[in-house]
Amino acid sequence: MALDDYRLLPSKAHSWIRFVARRCAKKFKFVLKIDDDVNVNFDLFTKLLETRETAKEQVLCSPFKHIADRRSKSTWYLSKKEFPYRNLGYFCAGLAYVLSTDLLPKMLRNSAYRRVVWLDDWYVTHALLVGEDVRIYDISSLYFVSENIQDAYSQLAQIQLGLRPLPIFSHLRPRKFFTSHRQTFLWEESQKCLLEPLIEESEYYYIENEVEKVKQASSLNNFLIAQ
């Protein structure tokens, strides 16, 4: 298995969680996890964090609710043996998310007895947080994300017209549609507006409540405990 194989991502996630929990959790209030192909407006990102009334037990991200992908040829394929349930519940898009650092020691503790599922976004922002008193805040409106050129330009037009806030994060793919030049152009154009991002109290989700809604929730909780 190659070092950059998707299925090794939970191990890499565990490494950075352990490092940050031990070295940084007492020095900083938040940690930002981003992919290496994501553009970030750090000035606006700093302003976003300054709006938080508290820096405890929260995740800021683009959350979504998904079902397990059973298509064997899919990049995100999950066999029933790996994950026997259909509903994955709420978790964060892994391209960029923010964790309050008080969660990291809890996540590190939970990693010792939670079963590893190779979808690292789900593993980090769902499995390791189940049972903790944590809120996931939806800041999806601050993401400029697309896999389609027409949709990307449509989003850009909305940003330029002030119909949606200035994005803090941008992730445009695949490369066959979005060359480095086009990605840079779209990102820079999206940042030319003078409007500040519409930072307001976001909708939030409780991880544990979502688990309770899953059919056979007790069985799912038992599954999460590593055997």
pLDDT at position 66 is: 85
* pLDDT classification of 51: cutoffs 50, 70, 90: confident
Closest to 125 in 3D by CA, of 39, 29, 207: 207
pTM (2 d.p.): 0.85
- Percent of the chain with pLDDT strictly greater than 70: 81
Residue 121: pLDDT over 80: yes
pLDDT of 112 over the 50 cut: yes
> Residue 190: its pLDDT value, please?
95
Secondary structure of residue 169 in the 3-state scheme: strand
Domain range list for the chain = 6-35+42-139+203-224, 141-190
- Using CB atoms within 10 Å of the CB of residue 97, give its burial: 0 to 12 exposed, 13 to 18 middle, 19+ buried: buried
CA 130 to chain centre: 15
Kindly report, residue by residue over 181-214, the tens digit of the pLDDT: 999 999 999 998 755 555 555 555 555 444 334 3
